[in-house]
Amino acid sequence: MRVVFFSGFAISHLIPLKSTILFLKKNNYDVYVFATKNNKYFIKKMGAKYIEYPEDYWNPLLDKESKKYNEIIEENYKNKDFEKMLYYILKKDAMLAFNHNLNSMDWIRKKIINLMPNIIFRDSTDIYWNYLKYEFSNIKTIGYITNNLYNWNYFKKNKLEFSYFLGIADVLQYLPDDYLDKFDQVIKEIYQEIIKEYHTLPLEPYFQYDPNETFNLIYTIDSMQPNCFDSKRYMLVESNKEDMLFKDTIDNNLVDFIGNSKTIYVSNGSFISRNIDYYKFIINHTKNFDSYKVIISAGNNNEEVKKYVKDNKLDHIFFVNKFIPQKYVLNNNCSLFITSGGINSIKEAIFYKVPMFVIPVSCEQRLNGLIIEKKGIGYTSYGPHNRLFNIEENFKVLLSSKKIKKNITNICLACKQKTNEDVFKKIIEYINEE
């Protein structure tokens, strides 16, 4: 039986699929994964067959057109007209969500005709199969999301969470009282304006946060996922112990640097890029923690960050590299994880019982940070309080709090008791249904 995965753009959308793909292969399913060329190695490592997306597959159609709103947004910000500013931010962001083109659509169509799979697993960020599935009614679709799932009903009942998701918690006091109540109407009108103006295919607002198929998988952990889904249509797939073990070859320089020292680890995940000023800020606010060494996964900023550390004679405190084996570091005397708050990093921090300080960038990361703070397992920089203003004091609390350590230990123990046997059984049943 043949299975196809339409995966997301970033490696963070593939990592959670490992246990599912290995399970399907173990049960003699022929597994194909559509992905970008940067993620080829990961798919091959799992023994699945790799099919490369076209280069323009993920390119926003309206990227150039969206930039005309930059000056308007800046002007409204200066005038403190926050409602109008947000309207144009929403319109710009919405335009960037339209990333489908007819050539890629036709390419996918031909690939599916050639493969004729029995089942397709569709990442929630996928647009193409969400249209094409109606042409292939004989092929079943399982939707999945590699973060928490959210929907309008949840946000209507949870206004604080909604404001974090939208990134307006810090300006909410300047907006009309009914702004959040009317938001779904406003955003739907914005999408309709774009569809009409640019003659695009229809698209639902925030489609990325709910795959909305008959049967769906949520790759998160129970303690992070709000109770806002129908358990008959959605099932959680949690990380198992095997997913959390590190198997990378470890750089001896890193091993020697850590030694027996306690560490602080800084990483933004596989998708988010930060500028050099971010790293300078973190370095300047961690360099005085004498009993800790700091490890930075700097990604594309690696050379600049290394130079800054060297120029300031901080090599004895900071270890910087483009890639850091995260699980290894979290498992070796790590006392604090400074993270952007992606769900994969959160899972690993919880598994290794490391408190987090979240400096989020995206919608779900802002919400993840809020959930982490509510669970008492870390802090978030985002929100009306803005913990960046006294960041070193917050670091001190996270490094010393027995209560936070106890909370994260309890959640870790609960996670380790979970298995995915029931979920995998349901997947097989759904595939085999007539």
Looking at residue 281, its pLDDT comes to 95
Tens digits of per-residue pLDDT, 258-299? 999 999 999 987 667 789 999 999 999 999 998 999 999 999
pLDDT at residue number 152:
87
Q: Residue 166: what pLDDT?
A: 94
Query: pLDDT digit string (tens) for 129-138?
Result: 999 999 999 9
The one-character DSSP state at 404 is H
How far is residue 104 from each of residues 58, 109, 129, 402, measured CA to CA in Å?
9, 9, 11, 53
Digit-coded pLDDT (tens) for 294-310: 999 999 999 999 999 99
pLDDT of amino acid 270: 67
Identify any residues that bridge with 318 across adjacent strands, giving them in sequence order: 294
Work out the mean pLDDT of the chain and round it to a whole number: 93
Count of CB atoms within 10 A of residue 62's CB?
18
Q: Is 47 left (phi over 0), alpha (psi -120 to 50) or beta?
A: left
Kindly state the tokens that stand for 122.
């569709």
pLDDT exceeds cutoff 90 at 175: yes
pLDDT value of residue 417: 82
Which pLDDT value is given to residue 194? 95
Q: What is the pLDDT of residue 329?
A: 96
Q: From CA 152, how far away is CA 206, in angstroms rounded?
A: 10
Q: Can you give the pTM of this predicted structure?
A: 0.93
Q: Helices 18-26 and 421-432, interaxial angle, to 10°? A: 60
Cα–Cα distances (Å) from 180 to 38, 152, 239, 309, in that order, read 39, 11, 34, 44
Tens digit of each residue's pLDDT (9 = 90 or more) over 220-249: 999 999 988 888 999 999 887 777 777 777
- What is the total residue count of the chain? 434
306-359 per-position pLDDT tens digit = 999 999 999 999 999 999 999 999 999 999 999 999 999 999 999 999 999 999
Q: What is the DSSP string of 364-389?
A: HHHHHHHHHHHHTSEEES-STT-GGG
3-state helix vs strand vs coil in the chain, percent to 5? 50, 15, 35
| Per-residue pLDDT band at 387 (split at 50, 70, 90) | confident
Residue 129, pLDDT score: 95
